[in-house]
Chain A
Amino acid sequence: QVQLQESGPRLVKPSETLSLTCSVSGYSISSGHYWGWIRQPPGKGLEWIGNIYRSGSTYFNPSLKSRVTISVDTSKNQFSLRLSSVTAADTAVYYCARISYSTYLAWFDSWGQGTLVTVSS
């Protein structure tokens, strides 16, 4: 059974870059599927950030596209998120997840536990 686990700094200063890594176990990223990042600000709903395929092909939410980088390391079975120039509005629980199909247009069938990242000086 696939398992995902987010890791990275929980506190980021304003204007700096948020960096998170999702470690995947029980399934090889190289086998297929898209992999994604979703976030949930405190008290708010879910927001899709972007998806990546094993090839490195990416799709991003236009609202964040200028600040987001998603990369994949198949040798480590990990994928990563970088969000630049963060503000307090980027404070959220960040989830990594697996897209159910080998297409970026699908549902999320497995999720990490999520990690709260706070943007504060």
Chain B
Amino acid sequence: DIVMTQSPDSLAVSLGERATINCKSSQSVLYSSNNKNYLAWYQHKPGQPPKLLFYWASTRESGVPDRFSGSGSGTDFTLTISSLQAEDVAVYYCQQYYSTPLTFGGGTKVEIK
């Protein structure tokens, strides 16, 4: 199984400041034949289902604000919120789809400082 490890477990950021979430996979999720990273990011708010933010590590889902960005390759990935807004308070998860079983990171809780 590919183990996804997120850091930190939680972070508190002031409104308007940058939030950075890391996700590391236990093996590369970069598929060499198409040069794509098989990684997605989700935002999960209490009482709601997870919402897709990015796929292929950095392709933003339609409707996701551009203050969110995804980056990284191979085994190390980052989700960045450039200017934190109140509505961004949530738990964020990465997910690899390079191989089964599909696996998620443990989540990073983002709060307002």
Contacts and interface: CB of A to CB of B under 8 A. Distances in A.
Nearest to B52: A109
Contacts of B42: 108
Chief secondary structure at chain A's binding surface: loop
B52 A95 contact: no
Interface string A68-112: 000000000000000000000000000101001000111111011
Interface residues of B, number: 25
Contacts of B40: 107-108
Interface residues of A, number: 23
Interface of B: 1, 38, 40, 42, 44, 48-52, 55, 61, 93, 95, 97-107
A95 to B, nearest CB: 6
A112 B44 CA distance: 13
Given A107-B55, A107-B95, A59 B100 contact: yes
A47 B55 contact: no
Contact of B100 (A97, A105, A112): A105
Contacts of B44: 46
Nearest to B106: A45
Interface of A: 36, 45-48, 51, 59, 61-63, 95, 97, 100, 104-109, 111-114
Contacts of B103: 48
B49 A105 contact: no
Interface centre among A46, A51, A107, A111 (most CB of B within 10 A): A107
A108 B99 contact: no
Contacts of B50: 46, 95, 108, 111
